[in-house]
Amino acid sequence: RLPEYVQIKEVGARDGLQNEKKWISSADKVAWINMLSESGLSEIEYTSFVNPKMIPALSDAREVGKKIRRNPKVLYSALVPNMKGLEYALEAGIDGASVFMSASEMHNQKNINKTINETFPVLDEVVKEAKDTGKRVTGYISTVFDCPYEGRISPEQVLRVCEKLLESGVDDLSLGDTIGSAVPTQVEQLLEVLMKHYPKEKLILHFHDTRGMAIANIMTSMHYGINRFDSTVGGLGGCPYAPGAAGNVATNDVLYLLHGLGIETGINEKKIQDAGIYIQNKLGKILPSRSLAYFANA
Ligand code: HMG
Ligand code: MG
């Protein structure tokens, strides 16, 4: 039985833009996030408060955070790697903090410059402080199926990271198919293990669509009762520290699927298509979403 309602977190302004070579001005980012804020989305991850040398595309995080027009119906979250990031994020304004690490040792080191065991205490402090200031906290785990450096990752390895993050006090976990390599049987194997330990409310699935498997993987996840997914308008994005990884599953395509199945999202599909055209024009390139392409050419 499929869920009746699915919650989408739009991560285009973060995961989507973080890997783009073309600089999008702060004013254009703000205008785009404002458009997204009026689409019916309930959560927008709007930037990252990370080392700007590692992610230059989001080096204006503080300015963007201060200028976006906040819709009280939207939860505004951002990626936060450490206490310095949390300080900047709180100053710029967040409702939610997203901490992040990987299930695989090598991706964790390339992405955040620490071993897995060194990461836990850093995030522990961030999670506690964010919770003390009343913020919702999500824990992202990357490379939950495959790592670009280490290959297949076991569900038990993922479980260990889940346990530690939940002990720190994160409210929920977003499981990342960072390189978009999983097929539905891998999703089943991971959910079989995790759902013995956690209720579905704790789990969000974050699929990249490198090989076109994301929609199939979302369908499989929904058969397990999962009803929270991350996606990006147009299918923008990719992790700069995961070579060859393409964008996230496109919000446009996910909405076409969900609404076609009669599943409610509260999101206006037309407004998401318009937001896709807007950012596509700003980037000066065609984005991967098939339903955006259909809309643009119709
Ligand atoms: P580090 O190099 O170990 O940290 O970075 P450091 O404390 O030695 O700092 C180095 C420099 O960064 C210093 O500046 C700090 O001030 C500065 P310098 O002295 O060289 O001028 N710095 C900061 N500046 C601003 N804000 C901060 C901050 N922290 C340090 N918060 C760190 C450790 C984690 C910060 C770094 O490795 C980093 O920023 N990594 C981010 C990488 C990233 O953003 N990757 C992409 C997002 S993850 C992703 O896409 C996956 C996901 O989508 C799920 C999935 O798909 O799997 C979430
Ligand atoms: Mg991602």
ipTM of the complex: 0.98
Name which of 47, 36, 96, 98 is nearest 71 in CA terms. Answer: 36
The catalytic site residues sit at 239
Per-residue pLDDT of 220-260, as tens digits, reads 999 999 999 999 999 998 777 777 789 999 999 999 999 99
Average pLDDT of the chain to the nearest whole number: 97
- 283 CA distance to ligand 1 centroid (A)? 24
Per-residue pLDDT of 200-216, as tens digits, reads 999 999 999 999 999 99
> pTM for this structure?
0.97
What's the pLDDT score for residue 238?
73
What's the pLDDT score for residue 283?
95
Quick check: CB of 137 below 6 Å from ligand 1? no
Quick check: CB of 108 below 6 Å from ligand 1? no
Q: Whose CA is nearest to atom 36 of ligand 1?
A: 112
- 213 CA distance to ligand 2 centroid (A)? 15
What's the pLDDT score for residue 242?
75
Q: Give the pLDDT mean for 38-44.
A: 98
Phi, psi of 139 (to 5 degrees): -105, 115
Per-residue pLDDT of 139-162, as tens digits, reads 999 999 999 999 999 999 999 999
Quick check: CB of 18 below 6 Å from ligand 1? yes
What's the pLDDT score for residue 144?
98
- 248 CA distance to ligand 2 centroid (A)? 6
Quick check: CB of 50 below 6 Å from ligand 1? yes
Mutate to test the pocket of ligand 1, among 9, 50, 236 (most ligand atoms within 8 A of CB): 50
Q: How far is CA 10 from CA 234, 236, 254, 285, in A?
A: 11, 11, 11, 20
Q: Give the pLDDT mean for 72-78.
A: 98
Closest-lying ligand 1 atom to the alpha carbon of residue 248 = 56
